[in-house]
């Protein structure tokens, strides 16, 4: 979805797919693509007509082995380094019309799938936070100071309790969004519940990982022990898939039953 000049303002995307007989010709550049150059297939959001804004946007499936597909250099990121992130460049890529996933005007259908993406994002953030709690809990029972395990100090206990409460709350919000998807007309998590889950998980993973670094002291700050990686990785989820601020506008829009026009 994302492009050099279109991220949160997704309807500003400029990648096109124009008809040519039985094919579509795709041109454009996509940015911040996780797995680019590794994954075989890509769902590419693009303009399928000259209709303004969201009306002209649809999606096609692009195979990395198609002529005209190339990839930029691997991005050097603060965290989230386990999966390659690169630009995808498409120059006159000929895609059969059978690879059309959503036609022009189906932008709303494309966006409805974000409920699943938000829950997936939130779950990965939860995984990082839960891992930080598990590691911190083990460390504070093994590490001794002043002749006793550091977990015996009340200041450490308070931090561990805060970590646990945040992890459990995030888990329950994700479960709610996923469980209630069965009662939705489209079978997908609601915008409200998935946005609440994502935003909360995105915020608490940073807080929990930071507390993990603190209770582990110098070892938490040391690259060899992994807690600092959790902190770096944790920041990615509140940016990817819609920032925490965007989720909060989604939450309020769902509460009052109308969307906000950010262009005015």
Q: What is the pLDDT of residues 9-56, one digit of tens each?
A: 788 899 999 999 999 999 999 999 999 999 999 999 999 998 888 889
CA distances from 3 to 45, 46, 87, 139, 166 (A): 10, 10, 9, 42, 34
- From the options 3.60.20.10, 1.10.490.10, 3.10.310.30, 1.20.140.10, give the CATH code of 113-256: 1.20.140.10
**Which residue, among 124, 77, 113, has the nearest Cα to 237 in the 3D structure?**
124
User: 46 near 99, Cβ under 8 Å?
Assistant: no
Question: Measured between alpha carbons, how far is 169 from 91 in angstroms, rounded to an integer?
Answer: 46
Residue 86's φ and ψ, nearest 5 degrees, are -145, 165
The domain locations on the chain are 10-108, 113-256
Question: Measured between alpha carbons, how far is 106 from 54 in angstroms, rounded to an integer?
Answer: 8
* Residues written for the chain: 264
Second-level CATH architecture of 10-108 = Beta Barrel (2.40)
Indicate the pLDDT class of residue 182, thresholds 50, 70 and 90. Answer: confident
Q: What is the pLDDT of residue 10?
A: 80
Reply yes or no on whether the pLDDT at 186 is more than 80: no
Question: Measured between alpha carbons, how far is 261 from 264 in angstroms, rounded to an integer?
Answer: 6
Give the global pTM.
0.87
Helix (H, G, I), strand (E, B) or coil at 248: helix
Per-residue model confidence as pLDDT tens digits over 75-130: 998 988 888 999 999 999 999 999 999 899 887 777 777 888 899 999 999 999 99
Rg, Å, the chain Cα set? 22
Question: Measured between alpha carbons, how far is 57 from 15 in angstroms, rounded to an integer?
Answer: 10
Burial class (CB in 10 A: 0-12, 13-18, 19+), 18: middle
């Amino acid at each position: 979805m994302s492009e050099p000049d279109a991220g949160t303002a997704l309807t500003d995307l400029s990648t096109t797919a124009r008809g040519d007989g039985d094919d579509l010709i795709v041109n454009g550049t996509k940015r911040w693509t996780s797995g680019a150059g590794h994954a075989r297939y890509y769902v590419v959001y693009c303009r399928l007509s000259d209709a303004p804004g969201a009306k002209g946007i649809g999606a096609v499936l692009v195979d990395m082995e198609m002529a005209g597909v190339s990839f930029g250099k691997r991005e050097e990121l603060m965290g989230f380094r386990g999966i390659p992130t690169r630009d995808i460049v498409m120059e006159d890529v000929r895609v059969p019309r059978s690879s059309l996933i959503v036609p022009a005007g189906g932008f709303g259908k494309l966006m409805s799938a974000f409920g699943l993406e938000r829950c997936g994002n939130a779950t990965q953030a939860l995984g990082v936070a839960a891992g930080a709690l598990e590691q911190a809990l083990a460390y504070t029972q093994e590490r001794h100071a002043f002749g006793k395990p550091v977990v015996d100090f009340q200041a450490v206990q308070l931090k561990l309790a805060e970590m646990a409460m945040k992890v459990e709350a995030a888990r329950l919000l994700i479960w709610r969004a996923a469980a209630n998807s069965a009662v939705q007309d489209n079978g997908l998590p609601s915008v409200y519940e998935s946005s609440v889950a994502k935003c909360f998980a995105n915020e608490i993973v940073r807080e929990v990982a930071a507390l993990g670094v603190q209770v582990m002291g110098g070892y938490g700050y040391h690259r060899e022990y992994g807690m600092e990686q959790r902190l770096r990785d944790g920041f990615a989820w509140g940016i990817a898939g819609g920032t925490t601020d965007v989720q909060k506008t989604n939450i309020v829009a769902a509460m009052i039953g109308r969307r906000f026009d950010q262009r005015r």
